[in-house]
Chains A and B, each alone.
Chain A
Amino acid sequence: MRSLQRIDIRKLITTIIMLIVGLIFLLPFVWMLVTSFKFENDVFNFPIEWLPVRWNMVENYREVWMGQYPFLLYYLNSMKVAVLTTVVSVIISSMAGFAFGKLQYAGKNFLFVLILMLYMIPTQAILVPQFLIFKSLDLYDSHLGMILLNSFSVFGTFMLRQFFIGIHPEFIESAKMDGAGYFKIFLRIALPLVRPAIATYAILRFIWTWNDYQTPLIFIRDKALYTIQIGMRQFADGEGQFYALTMAGAVSAIIPLLIVFLVAQKQVIEGISVGGVKG
């Protein structure tokens, strides 16, 4: 058995080297975190104080969360938009993925190629018409509009299609023989079988929506509707830069993602591997 082998010294040394490289790789995050604990005047002290000499952690975070800007409101807005986008997008993408993966109908291949091509388009290229359409539909400057913009995901559709294809046809045939309609087959048989893939996609969609800067930048004007990515910039754009506060805001913005990712890292990494390698 391989796993019972003694510890390999060369492998151990490589591991240590790679951990050091990894730590250097993550230094920007370490710096962000440490700076968020410092007094503004100490931010640029050199040599870098990797452990703050004077701590101002509580004050910084209190200022971010309860100070001049309604950070908590931005947070709740982000949470609302990210959760609802994820839910709507999972429903739409899993239905479309099921249709592409398991159903036969005229024009399927054409639709597939069409949607694949639309996926290649940089979203910025169609911002002007999208903006006009949203204005005329009264979706501009609303969370509903933001949610709709990110809900029709081609990526999600393709990813879930890969997994639906993998379902053995017999499962579906035998359900049909028992007289089940397509919706019942979808809900009762297909969806439960691809649950891990749906979880992966949901996590990715949540992360991407949470991090989305472009959509609120263009489609939101009312400050009460700001999400965290836009809100965070106010520390940098207002009167002068407040670096310690900006970093405290940045840390606050990353923490929910970090939690989601650490809890579900296996799902995320496996989902990306499968989706990516199968193409």
Chain B
Amino acid sequence: MAGYMFMGPMLIGVIILVLIPVLATIVLGFTDWNFVAGFEQAKFIGLDNFTKLLDDDIFLTSMKNNFLLLFVVPIGMAIALLLAIIINSHVYLKDTMKVIYFMPYISSVVAVAVVFQVLFHPTFGPINQFLMSIGIDNPPKWLSDINFALPSVMFIMIWVQIGFKLIIYMAALQNIPRDLYEAASIDGANGWHKFKKITLPMLSSTSFFLLIIGIIGTFKVFDLIAVLTAGGPSNSTSVAVYYLYDTAFVNLKSGYASAIAMVLLLFVFIITLIQWVAQKKWVNE
């Protein structure tokens, strides 16, 4: 009984704000509806929304971009791990270093986005002015260039997330028993060997945690895209959640947006399943 009393507020909130909306999304995904019009106007149209999605270029581009964003996760992890190893055992002022690299993570996404908008400005932004001053006549237009906008967004995502990964890797590194390295040294192992045979395996559960959190995180990137590019230029940085928002709240197509949401939920569900299976299989506790 006491258990439910303590769970009560959380449960009520989660049911009203998450569980019911999830179920409602699944129903709405099969309708043609504009939420301004009221419930009576909702029309059940079966799978039409989903067949339309398959031909919707913006949706397909957004999904493709979501998959490209996945590259952010391993790249960010590798950089964070490298920095964590250096900071953990090869420098003074460890705490200062942690604070430096954690700064972007605590900063307002809106503030970060407006700064990078200006830094990346194609004609008079500092980055391109610098590139032109060292003789590169036609530097990329970054956020206004179809081919460079997404990589620029990815760069900013990595920059923002490094600190979080770094801190978790540093904590995990400190949990690796010292004598493992000492024993390896006695056996004549070099640094690279120790890294491959001790550090990496001992970090496997941490890496797995970061990988899953990171992958789920890439599906949730909204604020940065909304402020930085609004999905442009020509949808080259649109992602599923941004297209969903645009469809639901700008174009007011609630039914269609709910269908997008269902696809998104399905992906997240699959990732969660893979996580559970993989965790049992690969991660040695």
Contacts and interface: CB of A to CB of B under 8 A. Distances in A.
B10 A122 contact: no
B254 A18 contact: no
Contact of A118 (B19, B118, B249): B19
Given A96-B9, A125-B264, A31 B14 contact: no
Nearest to B205: A279
A133 B100 CA distance: 42
Interface string B78-102: 0000000011001111010111111
Task: Give the dominant DSSP class at B's interface.
Answer: helix
A29 B114 CA distance: 11
B245 A243 contact: no
Contacts of B10: 92-93, 95-96, 115, 152, 157
Residue picked from A118, A148, A254, A277, most chain B C-beta under 10 Å: A277
A232 interface: yes
A222 to B, nearest CB: 17
Contacts of B102: 261, 265, 268-269
A99 B7 contact: yes
B19 A129 contact: no
Interface stretch (A63-71, A193-201, A209-217): A209-217
Given A122-B264, A272-B164, A103 B6 contact: yes
Given A25-B100, A25-B101, A96-B9, A246 B114 contact: yes
B216 to A, nearest CB: 6
A51 interface: no
Contacts of B115: 28-29, 31-32, 247, 250
A149 B100 contact: no
A163 B173 CA distance: 21
Given A182-B2, A276-B171, A126 B18 contact: yes
Given A43-B118, A95-B7, 20 more contacts: A11-B92, A18-B86, A31-B126, A44-B121, A44-B125, A96-B10, A120-B269, A124-B220, A124-B245, A126-B18, A128-B35, A128-B258, A211-B110, A236-B114, A247-B118, A265-B99, A273-B170, A276-B168, A276-B171, A276-B209
Interface of A: 10-12, 14-15, 18-19, 22, 25-26, 28-29, 31-32, 35, 43-44, 46-48, 91-93, 95-96, 98-100, 103-105, 108, 111, 115, 117-118, 120-133, 148-149, 151-152, 154, 157, 182, 186, 207, 210-211, 213-214, 217-218, 228-229, 232-233, 236, 243, 246-247, 249-251, 253-254, 257-258, 261-262, 265-266, 268-269, 272-274, 276-277, 279
